[in-house]
Structure 1
Amino acid sequence: MLEFLQAISLLLALLNPFLMIVYLSDVVQTVDRAKFSRVLIRAAAIAAVVFICFALAGDAIFSTLVQAEFASFQIFGGAVFLLIGMQFMFRGPTAIEMLRGESTNLSGAIAMPVLIGPGTLSASVVIGKTSAPWLACLAIVVAVAASTAVMVLLKILHDYVRASREDLIQHYIDIAGRVTALYLGTVSIEMIMLGIRDWVGRF
């Protein structure tokens, strides 16, 4: 049971819905509640399938298909995260809109890079290594579903208070954006250091 809860908490720490909603601030403000829920659920389903694949066959994916060490992915992923964190620091939440770009498939654009990123893929591989296959799959589904449910609730709350508390919402987005930048920067450096440590440990 403890192993199961640890797996959920590991992925939830990276799928933090209170920070994820900041990534999606432009979508939250422009898309109605029903469409937002549909799009987010589809994106979450895509992300869950990818996470499960990496949890069950992470090492095989890197060694056979990518033909690279997992440490290389950690270093590159950390560098990407670092760039995103710097964009957030200087540009605010609009940085993620620039990264998504123009896309006719909003679900796919939200799934990557918002949900599927270097951190969440790395966490999925770790969960697959430390948990039984069925337990890893269940933990991933629970974590993704919980994060999605909270984001839908935050969208409902946003629509409810937007008319009278627009300034409060903007303050939250600004503050959470700064926190997100610090969080992303910290996670990115940690990923780079873990990747370097794994490489050094091979010699």
Structure 2
Amino acid sequence: MFNDAFYDSLGLMLFMLNPFLLIVYLIDLVEELDAKTFSIVLIRAGLISGCCYITFAILGNEIFDTLFKADFASFQIFGGIVFLITGIQYVFNGNKAIKKLRGAPQYVQGGIVMPIMVGPGTISASIIVGQRLDYPIAIAIIVTSLIVCIATVILLKYIYVAVKTKNEPLLLRYIDIIGRVAALLIGTFSIEMIMSGIRAWVAKF
């Protein structure tokens, strides 16, 4: 059970669900919501995301081949473009870009899910995990990764509140810089997704 594929898959999901990056994207919610409300919103978003991950882990490429009649390479290309646009907007506009993508406050759970928690990267990772391992183990990895991610983000919320009272300007500046640097990494990853999709699509001919 605990072989290289298990640890590689767990590492992949934890990397794609990076809680330290997620807290940067949710910083406006961290500031606006109290700890209890923030935790409830995040847990609900995690439940929705988990259902999506498990669905893609079990069905894999069949979702694209059978349901959508499309190739996974097309998803990689389009998903990479969406990821790239998100990264570019964050580089130039900071957290305001993510807040705009989330939409109205009453839809905040859905806004956290798409495009922050459920995106091209996490969907691709879920498919890979489902292909590498038996379904029960793949589901266990997805659930474990989500629990670790959500618990870490909630813990970071409490740490943020404690530190903010003493060094708010410095903390906000630090978060802004980290977010923009992370956006550069997202842009790089999105280009790699686009190129992988193009290579897979061209290889068919």
Shorter-chain TM-score range: over 0.9
> Is the contact between residue 13 and residue 145 of structure 2 (CA under 8 Å) also seen in structure 1?
yes
Asked if 1:139 is matched to 2:141, the reply is yes
Q: Deviations over 1:107-138 (max 9, x none)?
A: 22211111001111111111111111111111
Q: Deviations over 1:39-69 (max 9, x none)?
A: 1011011101110000000212111111100
Match of 1:167 in 2: 169
1:74 aligns to 2:79 (yes or no): no
Q: 1:178: Cα distance to partner? A: 1.6
Tell me how far apart the structure 2 counterparts of residues 41 and 174 of structure 1 sit (CA, whole Å): 25
Whether the 8 Å CA contact 2:101–2:111 is kept in 1: the answer is no
1:40 aligned residue: 42
Q: Using the alignment, how far apart are the partners of 1:9 and 1:22 within structure 2? A: 20
Q: Give the match for residue 120 of structure 1.
A: 122
Partner residue in 1 for 2:32: 30
Q: Distance in 1 between matches of 2:9 and 2:174?
A: 29
2:8 counterpart (3, 6, 9): 6
Give the Cα–Cα distance (whole angstroms) in 2 for the partners of residues 187 and 35 of structure 1. Answer: 32
3-state secondary structure, aligned to 2:165: coil
Kindly indicate whether the alpha-carbon contact (under 8 Å) linking 2:102 and 2:110 is maintained by their aligned counterparts in 1.
no
Give the distance between the partners of 2:10 and 2:203, measured in 1 at CA: 28
Query: Matched residue of 1:164: which SS?
Result: helix
CA contact (8 A) 1:93 1:173 kept: no
Q: CA deviation at 1:168?
A: 2.7
**1:134 aligned partner, one-letter code:** P
Aligned to 1:58: 60
Counterpart CA distance in 2 for 1:193 and 1:11 is 21
Q: 1:177 & 1:105 partners in 2: Cα distance?
A: 23
5 Å matches for 1:143-162? 143-162=145-164
User: TM-score, normalized by length of structure 2?
Assistant: 0.96
Which amino acid in the other structure matches residue 154 of structure 1?
A: L
Q: Amino acid of the residue matched to residue 116 of structure 1?
A: V
Distance apart, 1:171 and its partner CA? 2.2
Residue pair 1:58, 1:125 contacting (<8 A) in 2 also: yes
1:178 aligns with 2:174: no
Structure 1 stretches of 5 or more lacking a match? Answer: none
Q: Secondary structure at the match of 1:122?
A: helix
Report how many residues are paired.
203
Does residue 113 of structure 2 align to residue 111 of structure 1? yes
Q: Distance in 1 between matches of 2:19 and 2:170?
A: 18
> What's the Cα RMSD here?
1.0
Q: Distance in 2 between matches of 1:138 and 1:96?
A: 30
Compute the displacement of 1:156 (Å).
0.5
Counterpart amino acid of 2:149? S
CA contact (8 A) 2:53 2:126 kept: yes
Aligned-pair identity in percent equals 48
Q: Does the aligned pair in 1 maintain the 2:5–2:133 contact within 8 Å?
A: yes
